[in-house]
Amino acid sequence: MSHRPTLRNRFALLVLAAWVASPSQAADPFTVANQYSAPEIDYGLERLERSLKNRKLELTVSHDRAADLTLTCEQNPDPDCHDGYSLHHSDSGYEIRAQNGRGILYGILEFADQLDHGAAVDGIQPKSVQSHFPFRAIKFNLPWYSYRSGQNLSLHLDTCRDLDFWRAFLDMMVENKFNTLSLWNMHPFAYMVRSPSFPDASPFDEDELAEWQSFWKSLFSMARRRGINTYVVNWNIFVSAEFAEAYGGVDQAESSQFFGDGETSEEIEQYTRELVTQTIDEYDDLTGLGLTLGERMGGMTSAERRDWIDRTIIAGLKAAKRPARLIYRAPLSADKRSGGSTSVTTEKITRDAIETMGMDDTVWIEFKFNWSHGHSSPRLSIVHGGMLTDTYWDPPSDRFKAIWTMRNEDFFVLRWAQPDFIREFIRLNSQPYAAGCFVGSECYIPAKDYITQDQHRNWDYAFERQWLFYKVWGNLLFDPQTPDRLFAQALEDRFAGIDGTQLLDAWKLASSSANRLASFYRATWDATLYSEGFAKNNGKLISVDELIKQPVLDRTYISIDDFVNHDIDDPDRVNPLQLADQLEVDCLEALRLVAVARHQSSDAASATLSIELNDIEAWAWHGRYFAEKLRGAVALARHRRTKNGSDQEAAIERLTAAKACWEKLTEHVERYNQPVIPYQFDPEYSWRKQMPLVERDIAIAHSP
């Protein structure tokens, strides 16, 4: 089929070209004084240029400080200096002042955003902000040689090799002020370099490796251009399957389990050390590496694990031609196993190792906030393995800072946005030793959208479904004082006629259902809770008996067992019936606000608005199910204690009401999404499949 323009179209193009070329339509200049050569500033100026063009203004960059906009970068040599900015009036127009190039970039983006929202060029409002956390990271698990395996991960292989995907993802990150991209898999180095001493350990021929190297260099360069640091993070001790086959001495392959005894041969140590050095030397735009003390280190003491890391990864970093940053994940186990434990002895060993390893810059030491379920309570209860003492923080150290990992293993299908939870988390966990967060998942990759039904998908990538999730997290980690108005405005920008404040309130109320479940029902590793599915191990519905017996994560709540069987009802804590009442009030209000939004919208054809409102409704029915199940569980526990028949009747009534809520939840989940999805612990997960277990709760209540 010919794609040449028709005569009519060619004439229209000529008229348009003449109009553009007309002197009367020439764009007025807008001058920016910039004396700094930095890729992130160039990126910001390109973004500003687009906004100026919409005002028929032409961006001109000069060194003359008598400009419409002057950029002043203090060039602070501290890599962790705050990357905020000051945008203010100057004698000739405006000035953006910041300590580093990233701060200048953020100031330019603020200037452009005000233009995009209708501000006159001479009506830009001053703004000054100092970043709160210096480390604001996305945790992104890669689908190749992944920590876990399954269709839910492998289906992303092509998307994650596509630089167009990464361009879009990185644009999202910089828009929301995430400044670090961390890329996780078990053995990243084999995909990046070839060991000269162990050439047959590479899984690729020369052409294949060259393609991989081109991919990595392009990705890291794109990130740097957006002021985003990059890290590759591994687990230990892993080698390639080709290494095992060619050089022996190790009983493992790519398909092997991530738990296992540590293989500590001299060949593996040399191989690991060389790959670390090569990776840093080969990739100039890579910021650093991250390491894990846990997996594939079974049978080793804490001291042996530390020493292996020192001889391999730390030695490899020191042998590189340039300095690199280090993420040192706190040990996952204090004993010789891999299941998870903590001890003061291990904390002392780890602290001493970091303080004496001689890294040039501050080391980031990582802890899982509330283990694998960061979207639970804003209060720290446990990390991987248990609770920390103050060994890491007392006395204060000038060699490392803590990074919290806010894992999300709790909602992949339903969108989530609760900025008040994030603000409270930041308020409670911004001690002087804390420097920021990772936000991300182990069992979900936000690349290919395999969740939405094809006919309802009007975006390209999975992360775009969750745009508000990233917006609230990134902007609040940067500045916890960011007002709700920013998020409400973003909703109004997307959906014509909507009251963004009311819609954001609906998101807050509905999303809290997930946080409340994960706070009330204590979970640890990934599979022990899947909040949106009200499920635990193997994706099975949490039964009424399990809800009764399970302890709470957040001690501001009272468990059902403590409330009924131990007569605990502290007025300063929330008992199960009070939680149920609050859930119902909030969920009913969320449903009311959704109805208001549907009435307000002049954008009735917006499929995306309908889908997002549907998610709020789904969370509301999820919360109402939780509320009725709590009431039914309390009544059932009382019946078992007192044999009061009215309690049994109440339990049956409430659990029957819970069933009706589950039916509504299922209806909403299936309206726009695939009814069956691959979930890490159930390859054919569905809400409808849980119905027999929902009904089983009623049968349990009928039992004598």
Instruction: Provide DSSP, 585-645.
Output: HHHHHHHHHHHHHHHH-S-TT-HHHHHHHHHHHHHHHHHHHHHHHHHHHHHHHHHHHH--H
For 9-23, how does the pLDDT look when each residue is reduced to its tens digit (9 = 90+)? Answer: 433 333 333 334 444
With CA atoms as reference, report the closest residue to 183 among 235, 232, 234.
232
Quote the CA–CA distance of 182 and 287 in Å, as a whole number.
Answer: 10
Check residue 320 and report its DSSP letter.
S
Residue 447 vs residue 63, higher pLDDT: 447
| pLDDT confidence of residue 425 | 99
666-692 tens-digit pLDDT = 999 999 999 999 999 999 999 999 999
Whether 5 shows a pLDDT value over 70: the answer reads: no
In this prediction, residue 251 carries a pLDDT of: 64
Contact 263, 300 (CB under 8 A): no
Amino acid 257: pLDDT: 54
Write down the pLDDT at residue 258: 60
Letter string b/e over residues 330-366, b meaning 16 or more CB atoms within 10 A of that residue's CB: bbbbbbeebebebbeebbebbbebbeebebeebbbbb
Cβ atoms of 660 and 516 within 8 Å: the answer is: no
How many other β-carbons are positioned within 10 Å of the β-carbon of residue 142?
A: 22
Choose the weakest-confidence range: 37-46, 174-183, 594-603, 624-633. Answer: 594-603
Mean pLDDT of 317-332: 95
Q: What's the whole-number mean pLDDT along residues 34-54?
A: 97
Q: Tell me the β-bridge partners of 229.
A: 180
Average pLDDT over residues 613-638: 99
- In DSSP terms, 424 is beta-bridged to none
pLDDT score recorded for residue 7: 29
Question: Rounded mean pLDDT of the chain?
Answer: 93
What was the pLDDT predicted at 342? 87
Which whole number is the average pLDDT over 329-340?
81
Q: Report the C-alpha gap between 457 and 450 in whole angstroms.
A: 10
Domains annotated on the chain, with CATH:
27-129 (3.30.379.10), 135-482 (3.20.20.80), 507-702 (no CATH)
CB–CB of 343/321 below 8 Å? no
DSSP 290-304: EE-SBTB-BT--HHH
Does pLDDT of 1 surpass 60? no
Q: Is residue 407 over pLDDT 90?
A: yes
What is the reported pLDDT for 470? Answer: 99
User: For residue range 127-146, what is the model confidence (pLDDT) as tens digits?
Assistant: 999 999 999 999 999 999 99
Residue 2 has pLDDT above 80, yes or no: no
Q: Return the number of other C-beta atoms located less than 10 Å from residue 155's C-beta.
A: 15
SS3 assignment, position 519: helix
pLDDT average, residue stretch 467-495? 98
C-alpha torsion 537→541→543→544, nearest 10: 130
CB-based contacts of 94, cutoff 8 Å, min separation 6:
68, 69, 70, 87, 88, 111, 124
pLDDT of residue 540: 97
> DSSP class of residue 126?
P
Give the model confidence (pLDDT) of 218-248 as tens digits. 999 999 999 999 999 998 888 898 998 899 8
Model confidence pLDDT, tens digit, residues 200-214: 999 999 999 999 999
Q: Above pLDDT 70, what percent of the chain?
A: 94
Query: Is 579:633 a contact under the CB 8 Å cutoff?
Result: no
CB contact at 8 A, 107 and 132: no
**Reported pTM:** 0.94
Helix (H) or strand (E) holding 129, with range, is strand 127-129
Q: Check whether 282 has a pLDDT greater than 60.
A: yes
Q: Mind listing the pLDDT tens digit for each residue in 374-391?
A: 999 999 999 999 999 999
How confident is the model at residue 292, as a pLDDT? 87
User: Is the pLDDT reported for residue 394 higher than 80?
Assistant: yes
Note if the bond before 237 is cis, omega within 30 degrees: yes
Average pLDDT on 502-527 reads: 98
CA geometry: angle 75, 486, 117, nearest 5 deg: 85
